[in-house]
């Protein structure tokens, strides 16, 4: 069979950060963070490291994950996927409070955080996963290491909330007992980090008699880096790599992939080592990463000194990387249009926080339609009826058809471009006591003088379905609507798509996800008026100078 020769990075496009990579036999898996989006954790599959597909989200039950009330960019952080004893192990954090800062000397309670770490297992990667075992709450980014003597150890970032202390207080290690289903013994701080700080994302490996520790440092923005250290003893002391950072874009603003860090290693069938890491692709003239933090992969080389380096020892990211000599294994393309003809939500779609989706939407109440039940305000941390998919390219078209007959201004439904509760553009139908049924846009703008903005309402005929459309070209965003069979009518505004990014933010906020596009419905009166969506189409395309041209 032919073999793949080049990896095109990023391999997981759109919001897919904090990769944990694993090989079992001839199959490769990557788990990525999902934060407040439900179900929790995305697991992708490949046979050649070039082609990937999303195969499962394992945290599906209330007993495994309930994120109601979790703030923006909290929820599931940095899962770790491993395999031993005939079982897949998945470690994850559920973050309940972020605080407002990570700087030393923060006043009051701003530095307080709550993060709870859990373990689930499954005999099959895409099967049913167990109820969780609680591990600890001392910090985030937990990772499970299976030593060659059969013992297991947890490493995680240690959080220190005390005034004047380094919040990122190092990497702690503690043994895990499968028989007791808990951590045992004392925790030990095995690595304090380097001067760039923000030491997190630990993973342990064993090779040629050394224990290797890699961490993410420098923060998950422009200063991100992958640090390596090693020791002959599991508990240390750990010596730093001669180059300290083995992969980074922090000193290369010309690199096409920025924010590189938070990495994990995998070995191919013939002994090659590859590194999977998160990265971002900023808009060229705005510098914001609307696609969020994505996942890339490239080969690494072990030197005669038993240290790991990139090809050419440059520590630089690669937009195109050498693929392993494996048979090419492509997957079928994800359909651009979903007609909601099955009782299950299409794989690419998620919702926010709630483990009880039946309270938010139904695919069986009206077959062939996605019915959203009007719930709380757009941006609510509790019952928000919003179903969306990731934006995975800088230029795309999306459209939907909705049947919705609002009776007053507290009832809304439509097409939304969403990052979080403080960053979105929402083209919706509602009702006004003077105008009647109408369309308008509500925007939440985190870095503008006015945080909320509304376009002028435009009357539409009641009793008819309405199609809604969005065109995005880099930072430009345009909305249109049309009644059944009519011509598209464009709203006479260019909206700012660059706010749907990590970088556009009010100070002190957590911003770790990415832009989504989808459907939403609110009934702030509490009567639960529903909206029926007949289809949803998402199509990636090349840049258009005039995005409003059909």
pLDDT at 223: 95
Closest among 67, 216, 68 to 140, alpha carbons compared: 216
Report the pLDDT averaged over residues 158-174. Answer: 94
> Above 50 in pLDDT, residue 237?
yes
Band of pLDDT at residue 2, cut at 50, 70 and 90: confident
Band of pLDDT at residue 311, cut at 50, 70 and 90: confident
pLDDT at 5: 83
Cα 408 to its chain centre, rounded Å, is: 35
Report the pLDDT averaged over residues 236-263. Answer: 96
Report the pLDDT averaged over residues 87-108. Answer: 75
371 vs 312 pLDDT, higher one: 371
> Above 60 in pLDDT, residue 458?
yes
Where are any strands of DSSP class E within 143-252? 143-146, 152-159, 168-177, 182-191, 200-207, 210-217, 225-231, 239-248
> Above 70 in pLDDT, residue 106?
no
Sign for the pseudo-dihedral over CA of 100, 106, 109, 113: positive
Read off the tokens for 402. Answer: 């909705």
Task: For the chain, give the mean pLDDT.
Answer: 95
**Three state DSSP letters for 266-299:** EECCCCCEEEEEEEECCCCCCCCCCCCCEEEEEE
Report the pLDDT averaged over residues 434-458. Answer: 89
Angle at 415 between CA 412 and CA 420, to 5 degrees: 90
> Above 80 in pLDDT, residue 142?
yes
Cα gap 502→289, rounded to integer Å:
6
Report the pLDDT averaged over residues 457-485. Answer: 95
Band of pLDDT at residue 1, cut at 50, 70 and 90: low
pLDDT at 101: 53
Report the pLDDT averaged over residues 411-426. Answer: 97
The residues annotated with a catalytic role in the active site are: 18, 200
pLDDT at 108: 39
Band of pLDDT at residue 189, cut at 50, 70 and 90: very high
Report the pLDDT averaged over residues 123-152. Answer: 97
Cα gap 438→252, rounded to integer Å:
49
> Above 80 in pLDDT, residue 3?
no
Band of pLDDT at residue 450, cut at 50, 70 and 90: low
Report the pLDDT averaged over residues 210-236. Answer: 97
Helix, strand or coil, per DSSP, at residue 359: helix
Read off the tokens for 147. Answer: 């030593």
Structure letter (DSSP) for residue 507: T
- How many residues would you count in the chain? 550
Q: How many CB atoms lie within 10 A of CB 17?
A: 27
Lowest-confidence segment of 56-70, 370-384, 450-464 by average pLDDT: 450-464
Rounded percentage of the chain residues whose pLDDT exceeds 70: 97
- For the chain, the straight-line distance linking the first and the last C-alpha, in angstroms and rounded, comes to 41
Q: Which residues 6+ apart lie within 8 Å of 194 measured at CB? A: 217, 227, 240, 244
- Per DSSP, the residues of 6-44 read EEES-SB-SS--S-EEEEETTEEEEEE--BTEESB-EEE
Closest among 71, 64, 136 to 97, alpha carbons compared: 71
pLDDT at 109: 44
Closest among 511, 463, 460, 512 to 482, alpha carbons compared: 460
Rounded percentage of the chain residues whose pLDDT exceeds 90: 90
pLDDT digits (tens, 9 = 90+) for 300-309: 999 999 999 9
Band of pLDDT at residue 313, cut at 50, 70 and 90: confident
Report the pLDDT averaged over residues 465-492. Answer: 94
Report the pLDDT averaged over residues 385-389. Answer: 98
**Three state DSSP letters for 76-107:** EEEEEEEEECCEEEEEEEEEEECCCCCCCCCC
- CA–CA distances in Å: residue 147 to residues 40, 117, 175, 211, 452: 27, 20, 11, 10, 53
> Above 50 in pLDDT, residue 151?
yes
Cα gap 190→207, rounded to integer Å:
18
Structure letter (DSSP) for residue 449: S
Structure letter (DSSP) for residue 327: B
Cα 414 to its chain centre, rounded Å, is: 24
Cα gap 191→177, rounded to integer Å:
23
Helix, strand or coil, per DSSP, at residue 425: strand
Lowest-confidence segment of 325-329, 447-451, 459-463, 545-549 by average pLDDT: 447-451
> Above 90 in pLDDT, residue 318?
yes
Angle at 278 between CA 277 and CA 281, to 5 degrees: 130
Judge contact between 288 and 498, C-beta under 8 A.
yes
pLDDT digits (tens, 9 = 90+) for 38-95: 999 999 999 999 999 999 999 999 999 999 999 999 999 999 999 999 999 999 999 9
């Amino acid at each position: 069979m032919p073999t793949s020769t080049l990896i095109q990075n990023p391999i997981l496009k759109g919001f897919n950060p904090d990769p944990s990579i694993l090989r079992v036999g001839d199959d490769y898996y990557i788990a990525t963070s999902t934060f407040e989006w439900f179900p929790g954790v995305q697991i992708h599959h490949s046979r050649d490291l070039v082609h990937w597909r999303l195969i499962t989200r394992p945290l599906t039950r209330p007993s495994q994950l309930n994120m109601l009330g979790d703030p923006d960019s909290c929820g599931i952080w940095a899962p770790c996927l491993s395999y031993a004893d005939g079982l897949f192990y998945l470690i994850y954090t559920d973050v309940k409070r972020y605080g407002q800062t990570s700087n030393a000397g923060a006043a009051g309670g701003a530095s307080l955080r709550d993060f709870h770490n859990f373990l689930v297992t499954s005999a099959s990667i895409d099967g049913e996963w167990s109820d969780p075992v609680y591990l600890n709450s001392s910090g985030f980014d937990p990772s499970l290491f299976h030593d060659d003597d059969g013992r297991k150890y947890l490493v995680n970032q240690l959080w220190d909330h005390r005034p004047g202390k380094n919040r990122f207080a190092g990497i702690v290690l503690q043994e895990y007992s499968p028989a007791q289903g808990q951590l045992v013994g004392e925790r030990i701080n095995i690595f304090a980090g380097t001067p760039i700080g923000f030491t997190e994302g630990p993973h342990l490996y064993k090779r040629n008699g050394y224990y290797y520790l890699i961490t993410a440092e420098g923060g998950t923005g422009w200063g991100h880096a992958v640090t390596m250290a090693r020791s002959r003893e599991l508990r240390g002391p750990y010596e730093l790599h001669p180059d300290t950072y083995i992969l980074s874009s922090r000193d290369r603003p010309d690199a096409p992939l920025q924010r590189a860090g938070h990495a994990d290693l995998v070995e191919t069938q013939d002994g090659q080592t590859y590194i999977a890491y998160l990265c971002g692709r900023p808009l060229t003239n705005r510098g914001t990463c609307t696609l969020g933090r994505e996942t890339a992969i490239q080969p690494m080389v072990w030197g005669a000194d038993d240290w790991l380096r990139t090809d050419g020892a440059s520590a630089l990211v690669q937009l195109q990387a050498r693929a392993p000599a494996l048979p090419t294994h492509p997957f079928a393309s994800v359909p651009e249009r979903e007609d909601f003809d099955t009782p299950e939500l299409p794989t690419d779609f998620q919702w926010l926080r709630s483990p009880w989706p039946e309270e938010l939407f139904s695919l069986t109440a009206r077959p062939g339609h996605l019915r959203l039940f009007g719930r709380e305000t757009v941006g609510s941390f509790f019952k928000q009826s919003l179903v969306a998919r990731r934006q995975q390219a800088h230029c795309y078209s999306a459209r939907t058809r909705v049947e919705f007959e609002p009776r007053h201004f507290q009832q809304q439904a439509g097409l939304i471009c969403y990052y979080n509760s403080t960053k979105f553009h929402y083209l919706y139908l509602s009702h006004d006591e003077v105008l009647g049924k109408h369309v308008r846009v509500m925007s939440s703008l985190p870095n503008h003088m006015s945080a909320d903005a509304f376009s002028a309402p435009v009357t539409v005929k009641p009793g008819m379905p309405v199609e809604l459309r969005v065109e995005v070209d880099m930072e430009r965003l345009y909305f249109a609507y049309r009644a059944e069979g009519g011509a598209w009518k464009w709203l006479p505004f260019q909206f700012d798509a660059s706010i749907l990014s990590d970088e556009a933010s009010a100070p002190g906020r957590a911003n770790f996800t990415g832009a989504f596009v989808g459907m939403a419905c609110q009934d702030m009166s509490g009567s639960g008026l529903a909206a029926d969506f007949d289809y949803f189409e998402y199509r990636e395309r090349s840049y258009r100078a005039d995005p409003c041209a059909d």
